[in-house]
Structure 1
């Protein structure tokens, strides 16, 4: 692990890792500029998650272009229409061929927000096909001993935990998690990781979670290009914002920034083999 000295006390600060970003979803010129600027932003690496097969292919291209700085995860984001059986098979076959180049399976999960929108419109909804697709991805991750990056919030996290436990797969990362205390306790007992976005600076629900979740199971992320509010209003989301995540988490937990950054780095490095 390389160190960065810019702490007011003069000690070495651990570099930053953005464990969840959609780098391929930025306008191309902005995405490339962010990738090229990582080293100047104290960011050692990012985990760039995928939306679908074209997204997977683009993230692989970026990873090859910026060797080591960008680590790709392959999957199918659940907050979109279900892929056809043919599309699922094509994606899984492609992932199999490129399994050695992917750092994780993701982003995968369950469509919490899409389901809410359907309910608001009075539409019927069937979760089962999404559950079956998530199980397929978790089985793939277990087979290849890869972490699985999960979009599974509130009650959906319980189903994700059921599937992870069914496959005895402990390498799970619940990104930008929101949910009940009992769900958080279950996740912690199983050793599942969660990550905080820049809204840890101003969002009370996230700050509450950050106060209680075990220190050895937390990481930083941005979920860029998703925009943030508070002090980040109007800014393009950049991996360097994980510095603000680390500072806010350190303050919440009452630990030195030096220790906080090292903990967040070590946790990500442990899960993702960085």
Structure 2
């Protein structure tokens, strides 16, 4: 493992759904990643289910700067027992090839659309992913926002999980303080450039527990309207973090780069 020790603007996308991009756009990002002069040094490519996990694995086998995670995104119908067995089997066989368990969590936005959706099956599934992360000594990547974050924290604490990454997090100050105390990491997307809620979170969260991501291909507004989500957008995020934290931008680049390297052991 190497760390940034020079004043260079290296970046790693801490959370991207690379296999969800159209083929042409995916190729554009990979070509940028692999260009000899690129400042983009890595992608943490998260999975939605077993099918996207298989595609992520194939990309990682071809491109060493792609680092896959395997899991089940919670903003979809709970999988069948057969589907879960297939997913857990795939993860077991390939656990040494994944850098984390994820993306996993709780269905906040799905429940907004379907208020009668039962949360308990998702909590049980999340706890199983947490148990596997503990067993395999892997970090866990979480989709858990607002009130769901406290439920996730309960489960993480129950299993004494230390390496947890809450991506694109939003939540109350009490939960933020709890996450900071537990040593959990968060990552922010390019919407931090124009969203006050995320800027407030950046101000509160220690830079030592902070990362940047795109969550691509999710699109963004403000200065990024109608643009394909690309890891270079994170330069704007880092400039925003430097301004909010009142820290030299070179130091912010180095800190955030090293945070991802250390957290994911890449």
Normalising by structure 2, we get a TM-score of 0.96
Matched, 1:179 2:175: no
Residue segments in structure 2 that go unaligned for 5+ positions in a row: none
In 2 relative to 1, CA 2–132 (structure 1 residues): closer, same or farther, beyond 3 Å? closer
**How far apart are 1:39 and its partner, in Å?**
4.2
CA distance in 2, matches of 1:159, 1:89: 25
| Secondary structure of the structure 1 residue equivalent to 2:114 | helix
| Unaligned ranges ≥5, structure 1 | 5-10
Q: Quick one: which of 42, 46, 56 aligns to 1:45?
A: 42
Asked whether the equivalents of residues 63 and 72 of structure 1 are also in contact (C-alpha less than 8 Å), the reply is: yes
Residues 3-61 of structure 1, C-alpha deviations (whole Å, 9 max, x = no match): 69xxxxxx722410100000000011211221121144411001000001100000001
SS class of match (1:156):
helix
Spell out the pairing of 1:1-274 with structure 2 (5 A cutoff): 1=2, 12-40=7-35, 41-67=38-64, 69-119=65-115, 124-274=116-266
2: distance between equivalents of 1:240 and 1:144? 32
Aligned equivalents of 2:3, 2:201: Cα separation in 1: 29
Higher relative contact order (CA 8 A, sep 6+): 2
For each residue in 1:227-247, what CA deviation from the matched residue of structure 2 results, as whole angstroms up to 9, or x when unmatched? Answer: 001111111001111111111
Once the two structures are overlaid, the 10-residue window that deviates more, 31-40 or 176-185, is: 31-40
Contact 1:22 / 1:225 at 8 angstroms: preserved in 2?
yes
Mapped to 2, the partners of 1:110 and 1:251 lie a distance apart of 32
| Structure 2 residue matching 1:255: 3-state secondary structure | coil
Deviations 1:181-210 (A, max 9, x none): 000000000000000100110000000000
Contact 1:141-1:148 within 8 A present in 2 as well: yes
**For each residue in 1:120-152, what CA deviation from the matched residue of structure 2 results, as whole angstroms up to 9, or x when unmatched?**
xxxx22100000000010111111111100000
Distance 2:4 2:169 in 1: 29
Q: Which residue of 2 aligns with 1:8?
A: none
Normalising by structure 1, we get a TM-score of: 0.93
SS at match of 1:168: coil
**Contact conserved, 2:3 with 2:258, CA < 8 A, in 1?**
no
Aligned residue pairs, count: 263
